[in-house]
Structure 1
Amino acid sequence: MKKLLTILGPTASGKTQLAAQLAYRLNAEIISADSRQVYRGMTIGTGKDLADYEVNGVAIPYHLIDICEPGTKYNLFLYQQDFYDAYIEIQKRGVQPILCGGTGLYIESVLKGYKLSPVPQNEELRTALADKTLEELTKLLIDLKAKSGSTMHNQTDVDTAQRAIRAIEIETYNLEHPVSERELPAVDSLIIGVDIERNLRREKISRRLRQRLDDGMIDEIKGLLNRGIPADDLIYYGLEYKYITEYVVGKLSYDEMFCGLEIAIHQFAKRQMTWFRGMERRGFTIHWIDAQLPMEEKLQKIVALLG
């Protein structure tokens, strides 16, 4: 079996383009590690950048993008199984797999082999939490994590009250129930991190946000709403879908939407880096490569590490 290669980094670091270029060189296939790119029709807002998956006229095969309908609640339990299915199928064909994304929790869950159980909705708990603020919910979640010793939910997953309630639901369930016997093995991987300087990252995030708005991100979200997907379901996905949905339904002005979203994405990228640094403290070795290096130099460094 070929050793898994993982490319991770914060939003706007250029990790997808790097992974695609590397896949072209190695005749590899990419498995996405992004918690929102699984949804069909959510393309601009999740930054799928599907054009990056074509290199010199060759379509790079990718997995776990556009695999479920918007409005549904995809989760870590499902991702872990879907990743492993794709990983084994790629390995059976003797092809090099590349895991690429910015959702640190998803990446760590498959590399470490988290023992997970499907967690049902707890309507009584949801009712009890319904009137609490996001700040109150975040404190509850931190307290639950302290009791369980869990590293599984950090603030990346609690940028909306709905997501925070689901995280509390999961932590509460896992405290009260033994972990399911279902266990997937840990996966050994060479991990490459794309390190982008903070000010450059902020500049790229702001420029990319303006570009995506110009490219029709608001129309994409209007289209999802027109298909009958409830506004609350889109708000659940956070970031672009939260702020632009609130703009479309009249809760925010355009300027409020833009400024709030820009700040939220900057904060999100910071939390991503906090998660990756936490992975290093938890025993993972991440080989960091400067995002500003020429593409060829980055590729050469990775190939050298692969041996």
Structure 2
Amino acid sequence: MHYDNSPYNLLVLLGPTASGKTTFAAHLAKELDGEIISADSRQIYRGMDLGTGKDLEDYTIDGQTIPHHLIDIVDAGYKYNVFEYQADFFKAFEQVQHNRRWPVMCGGTGLYIESVLKKYKLINVPVNQPLRDSLQGKNLQELSTILAGYKSLHNQTDTDTVKRAIRAIEIEEYYKEHPEIEVKLPDIHPLIIGVNIDRESRRRKITDRLKKRLDEGMIDEVKQLLDSGVTPEDLIYYGLEYKYLTMYATGQLTYKQMFDKLNVAIHQFAKRQMTWFRGMERKGAHIHWVNAFEPMEEKIQKVIKLLQA
């Protein structure tokens, strides 16, 4: 259906890791003559492919490559943040609109998705050294408790290291002290589709996918990043695969310890993603859930029907 014939101007496709949302988004974008705008906090990094699950082959349907944005846009080692994401998203959104095509946002980073849907008041928050000093020595649990005390919507779903938690608190503190900040952003009218996958299937797919990526050379990818000059500390900052594979590559974990800890961490991450999406619903977001295992054509027709509503 054509972009002009709908009350919506943005299609959002969200779901936990291993739910098959990327393949679904690519098929939808092909059907709608759309372009995908990624909402994944780690796929923006060049050279971090297997560990972030880019699955770039998913963007090619019947020999046609679907245009996609916000993938491979900065070098590994850089600390990209939600402020930059929001600005980059709206630039891509306006570009896709200018092309008279459907913008299809696809990803599982709840903070990035909500920064767009809720139009978070984001600015480039400077470093607050006295605050950082006062938080020094606190563990992740203590920092998470402090973070939960702030009233705004940014919470700790994506905060899996002490460094990230301190930065999140720093951002919250800045907003508290500067309530006057105004940000002008384009109007969006989103249709939000969630891909639902039952817990057992999700767990099986996560473990199978982890084994497959390790077979495909995920350890070599991490070693190459380290050889290229990215520090172990910077790689660990990215969490999940990069955290545990770096600990293995630097001799801190055995292969079995790395696999077991990483497998559990990805399951926990998927659970946190679902908690975030349910939280979005509680705060008023209307998410239309589709079953991950429904035939592709049926899922596509459901979405097209909703876009016409």
- Please indicate, yes or no, whether the TM-score normalized by the shorter chain is above 0.5: yes
Displacement of 1:254 in angstroms is 1.1
Distance 1:151 1:116 in 2: 12
Distance 2:83 2:113 in 1: 12
Q: 2:106 aligns with which of 95, 100, 109?
A: 100
Given that residues 114 and 183 in structure 1 are in contact (C-alpha distance below 8 angstroms), is that contact kept between their aligned partners in structure 2? no
Displacement of 1:285 in angstroms is 0.7
2:86 alignment counterpart = 80
2:38 alignment counterpart = 32
2:62 alignment counterpart = 56
Given that residues 141 and 164 in structure 1 are in contact (C-alpha distance below 8 angstroms), is that contact kept between their aligned partners in structure 2? yes
1:153 alignment counterpart = 155
1:263 alignment counterpart = 264
> 1:194-247: per-residue Cα shift (whole Å, max 9, x none)?
000011000000100111111111110111111111111111111001111111
SS in 2 for 1:36: coil
SS in 2 for 1:152: coil
Displacement of 1:115 in angstroms is 1.1
SS in 1 for 2:19: coil
Mind listing any 5+ residue stretches in structure 1 that lack a counterpart? none
Given that residues 90 and 186 in structure 2 are in contact (C-alpha distance below 8 angstroms), is that contact kept between their aligned partners in structure 1? no
Identical counterparts, % of pairs: 60
1:130 alignment counterpart = 136
Displacement of 1:94 in angstroms is 0.7
Instruction: Please list every run of at least 4 consecutive aligned residues from structure 1 whose deviation after the TM superposition is greater than 6 angstroms.
Output: none
Distance 1:115 1:186 in 2: 14
Given that residues 197 and 292 in structure 2 are in contact (C-alpha distance below 8 angstroms), is that contact kept between their aligned partners in structure 1? yes
SS in 1 for 2:75: coil
Question: How much is the aligned-residue C-alpha RMSD, in angstroms?
Answer: 1.3
1:285 alignment counterpart = 286
Given that residues 109 and 158 in structure 2 are in contact (C-alpha distance below 8 angstroms), is that contact kept between their aligned partners in structure 1? no
Given that residues 27 and 95 in structure 1 are in contact (C-alpha distance below 8 angstroms), is that contact kept between their aligned partners in structure 2? yes
SS in 1 for 2:226: helix
SS in 2 for 1:192: strand
1:188 alignment counterpart = 189
Letter in 1 for 2:137: D
Given that residues 116 and 179 in structure 1 are in contact (C-alpha distance below 8 angstroms), is that contact kept between their aligned partners in structure 2? no
> 1:252-292: per-residue Cα shift (whole Å, max 9, x none)?
11111111111111011011111111111111111100001
SS in 1 for 2:86: helix
Q: 1:10 aligns with which of 16, 28, 47?
A: 16
Given that residues 111 and 158 in structure 2 are in contact (C-alpha distance below 8 angstroms), is that contact kept between their aligned partners in structure 1? no
Letter in 1 for 2:273: Q
Distance 1:125 1:198 in 2: 40
Displacement of 1:177 in angstroms is 2.5
2:298 alignment counterpart = 297
Question: After the TM superposition, which of the residue ranges 247-256 and 16-25 deviates more from structure 2?
Answer: 247-256
Mapping of residues 159-238 of structure 1, within 5 Å: 159-238=160-239
Distance 1:222 1:265 in 2: 21
Mind listing any 5+ residue stretches in structure 2 that lack a counterpart? none
With structure 1 as the length reference, what TM-score do the two structures score?
A: 0.95
Given that residues 141 and 168 in structure 1 are in contact (C-alpha distance below 8 angstroms), is that contact kept between their aligned partners in structure 2? yes
Q: Aligned pairs, how many?
A: 302
Distance 1:185 1:101 in 2: 20
Structure 1 residues 179 and 224, CA gap change in structure 2 (3 angstroms): farther
